Amino acid sequence: MYQPPHFREDDLAVQHALIKAHPLGLLVTFGSAGLEANPIPFVLDASASPLGTLKAHLSRANPQWRNFEPDQEALVVFQGPEAYITPSWYAAKREHGKVVPTWNYAIVQARGHLTIRDDPDWLRQQIGAMTDMQEASRPEPWAVSDAPAPFVAAQLKGIVGIEVEITRIEGKWKVSQNRAEADRLGVSAGLRLSDDESHRMADLIDGQGARRRE
């Protein structure tokens, strides 16, 4: 990933927080059919290895778990908030007009070798952890145990577990760090007049500004 120094995010806790907030990762592998990519929700086990371990499952009918090359690294891409940035929000536009549009985003790329986990107990634990994570904020959380045990057992036969022990991880937070403070404030204010996704980008811009002032 192209990484200008001012956009690089090396704090593992910050990288992990994005993965947990945006667990739908794009799994990219190389195999006999070339590159394959599928969006899959992951559970991050931060304590399982130094950089964390990603756990998920694929449909047994999905050929990706059979066709990947074990000696090649898998790539998992997690996309955080993103937003188009209009030059109209920059103070610099009013000063000299030498501004252009851009796109802000936060992203994490994790790499590691893919391991298949075709074990009912492992799968039950994985889907339980994923479900609990997503249901925790609901007033009446649904649990895997709410479904009949024979039904759950039958469903488990249709999936295959995968695990990626992260050996390399990169974060890129392109959130207007390269702009003057007046421009950053203008971008944040403009984004807050837009939708919820834009609000999250504004939060990242303000957060980066606070970190720079510390």
For the chain, the domains span 5-84+102-177
- State residue 209's pLDDT score: 67
Name the 3-class secondary structure at 82: strand
- State residue 195's pLDDT score: 67
Please compute the mean of the pLDDT values over residues 36-51 and round it to a whole number: 97
CB-CB contact of 112 with 164 (8 Å): yes
Query: What DSSP character marks residue 68?
Result: B
Q: Write 99-105 long-range contacts (CB < 8 A, 24+).
A: 103/174, 104/174, 104/175, 104/176, 104/187, 104/201, 104/204, 104/205, 105/79, 105/80, 105/81, 105/172, 105/174
> What is the value of pTM for the model shown?
0.89
- State residue 32's pLDDT score: 87
Distances (CA, A) of 166 to 61, 120, 133, 160: 25, 23, 20, 19
CB-CB contact of 110 with 74 (8 Å): no
Architecture field, domain 5-84+102-177:
Roll (2.30)
How crowded is residue 77: how many other Cβ atoms within 10 Å of its Cβ? 15
**Tokens 């070798």 identify what position?**
113
Please compute the mean of the pLDDT values over residues 55-61 and round it to a whole number: 97
Query: Which of 126, 118, 119 minimizes the C-alpha distance to 48?
Result: 126
For the CA atoms of the chain, what is the radius of gyration?
Answer: 20
CB-CB contact of 69 with 116 (8 Å): no
DSSP string, 121-148: HHHHHHHHHHHHHHHTTSSS---GGGS-
Q: How does residue 206 score in pLDDT terms, banded at 50, 70 and 90?
A: confident
- pLDDT tens for each residue of 140-169: 999 999 999 999 999 999 999 999 999 999
Q: What percent helix, strand, coil does the chain show, rounded to 5?
A: 40, 35, 30
Residue 164 burial (C-beta neighbours within 10 Å; 0-12, 13-18, 19+) = buried
